[in-house]
Amino acid sequence: MHTGCSGTRLRGFRAGDGKSMGSQGGIGLDRQKHEPDFQRVRVFLFLGEIILDMELEYDMPVKNLCGTCTRCIDACPTKALKPYTLDSRKCIACLTIEHRSDIPAAFKNQWTGWIFGCDISEEVCPWNKKAKLHSEKDFQPLSEISLFTKSNWENLTSEVFEKIFRKSPLKRTGFEGVKRNMEFLKSSD
């Protein structure tokens, strides 16, 4: 999910490492990189699971369709991706969402704009060009932030954050985490 303001981007949620779930379950492509690339829905999706005590009919695992492509590896600003490997310690998504202390200074100037997650590897994947837009209203960007400017983000207060994001994935980092991420980008300028 991207905001409408220039220079600041965030992601609504992150599916995590769904590679084995997606590919082994027959709903995705087990490519040479970390992402589950889904033949029908591509990688912009929300993964979930249901635990059942009944036998189901299984799909077959799907094949690797990356071929010689290395676009996601080449595009990753922090070099977190290697063939078949994601170093989560370097991944912007992990650093801006899961990391609990200051973002290490070594990452300064390695990316711009992302304040909650990162979609770069998904955006460059040619398979995603064929993705169909979802029609799930709960996945639409929050209307309150669609017109947010950079200044709105920079002047965001904890009260406004709580009001707008109280039911959103941004609660994972909380107001302090989003502020930390913005300060980190600012200090990289």
Q: Of 70 and 146, which has the nearer Cβ to ligand SF4?
A: 70
The total of other beta-carbon atoms located within 10 Å of residue 157's CB is 9
Site track for ligand SF4 across 49-68, x = CB under 6 A: -----------------x--
Task: Pick the closest to residue 142 from 132, 152, 151 (CA basis).
Answer: 152
Site track for ligand SF4 across 111-150, x = CB under 6 A: -------x-xx--xxxx-----------------------
Asked if residue 36 lies in contact with residue 21, where contact means CB atoms within 8 angstroms, the answer is yes
Out of 5, 27, 91, 170, which residue is the one contacting ligand SF4 (CB under 6 A)? 91
Show the tokens assigned to 6. Answer: 């220039």
Restricting to residues 24-43, which ones interact with ligand SF4 according to CB under 6 A?
31-33, 35, 37
92 makes contact with ligand SF4 (CB under 6 A): yes
Q: Is 31 exposed, middle or buried (0-12, 13-18, 19+ CB in 10 A)?
A: buried
In angstroms, the CA 71 to CA 132 distance is: 21
Pairing of strands 85-86, 114-116: unpaired
Out of 80, 97, 156, 185, which residue is the one contacting ligand SF4 (CB under 6 A)? 80
Q: Of 91 and 170, which has the nearer Cβ to ligand SF4?
A: 91
In angstroms, the CA 59 to CA 46 distance is: 19
Q: Of 27 and 66, which has the nearer Cβ to ligand SF4?
A: 66
Asked if residue 116 lies in contact with residue 168, where contact means CB atoms within 8 angstroms, the answer is no
Residues lying near ligand SF4 in the complex (CB under 6 A) are found at 31-33, 35, 37, 66, 69-72, 76, 78, 80-81, 86, 91-93, 118, 120-121, 124-127
